[in-house]
Amino acid sequence: MKTILIVDDQMEVCELVDVTLSADDVRIIKASKGDEAIEIAQREKPDLIIMDIMMPGKINGIEATRILKSDKSTRHISILMLTAKGQDRDLEEGFKAGADAYFIKPFSPLELIRKVEEVFES
């Protein structure tokens, strides 16, 4: 059973990812804030976190990534950045913060499935 945590301030996007990825052997947890994400990650220890970079609140996606990657207990969790096209600067920051991969929205759900499989394989 794989656990995937999706973090995005837009509920629709979380739902879309949920619909796309959930399966018998895949559990989806949804979060809409960075601090929420950290808490869930520490607790549930998901196998993958799909993190929207742009989120309101004190802890945005990049900050959350940084925190999770520096925490011994969550360091090992792969983080997939979800970003709008053309935000090269944010991507750079994200990678610096320790993100493992990125994915652009708007996206095709099928392509997302493929990407996730890719991440799990690596």
Partner 1 sequence: MTLPKREKQAVQPIRILLAEDNPNDAEMARRELSRESIEFHDMIVDGEEEFRRALDDFKPHLVISDYAMPAFDGMRALEITRSRPERIPFIILTGSINEETAVDCLKAGADDYVLKEKIKRLPFAVRDVLAKEQARRDKAQAQEQLRRNEEKFRLIAENSIDCLWQMDMEHRYTYVSPSLPRILGFTPEEFIGTRFSDHAPEQEVTRIGEVARRMLENPQQFPHISIETTMFHKDGSLVPLEVVAKPLFVGDELAMILGSARDISERKQAEAALRENEKRFRELADMLPVVIFETDRQGNIHYANQQASSVFKYPLEDLVTELSIFDMIAPEERDRARDTFAKRLRGEVFGMINYAGLTKSGKRFPMLVRMSPIPADEVVAGFRGIVVDISKEREMLAKLDAIQKRFRILFEFAPDSFFITDLRGRIVEANRQAGKMLQRRQAELIGKSLASRFRLGEEERRQWRKLLTRSNKGLPTEMEEFTLTRPDGSSIVAEISTYPVRIGSKTQILAIARDITAHRQLQTELENHRESLEQLVKTRTRELKKALLDSEANRDRIDTILKSVSDGLIVTDVNKHIILMNTPAEEYLDLRFTECINRKINDVTHHRPLIDLIQLAFDESISVQADVEIVGKTSEAHVLEAAAKPISVKKGKPIGILTTLRDVTRTREIDRLRTEFLSTTAHELRTPLTSIQGFSEILLTRKNLKKADKDKFLSYINRQAVNLAGIISDLLDISRIESGVGFEIRKGPCRLNDIIAGRIELYRLSYRDHRFTTDLQAPDQPVCADKEKIDQIMQNLLSNAVKYSPDGGEVHVNTEIKNDEFRVTIKDRGIGMTRDQVRNIFRKFYRANSSDTAPPGTGLGMSIVKLILDKHGGWIDIDSRPGVGTKVVFAIPIDTNKIDRDPVQGENQP
The residues that touch partner 1, with contacts defined as CB under 8 A, are 9-13, 15-16, 19-20, 32, 53-57, 60, 84-87, 90, 105-110
Comparing CB distances to partner 1, the nearer of 106 and 122 is 106
Q: Residue 49 pairs with which residues in a beta bridge?
A: 5, 79
Work out how close the CB of 106 gets to partner 1 at its nearest, in angstroms, rounded to a whole number.
Answer: 4
d(CA 14, CA 29) in angstroms, rounded, equals 9
In 1-122, beta strands by DSSP E: 2-7, 26-31, 48-52, 78-84, 101-105
Comparing CB distances to partner 1, the nearer of 11 and 75 is 11
Comparing CB distances to partner 1, the nearer of 23 and 75 is 23
Work out how close the CB of 6 gets to partner 1 at its nearest, in angstroms, rounded to a whole number.
Answer: 12
- Count of beta carbons in the 10 Å neighbourhood of residue 4: 23
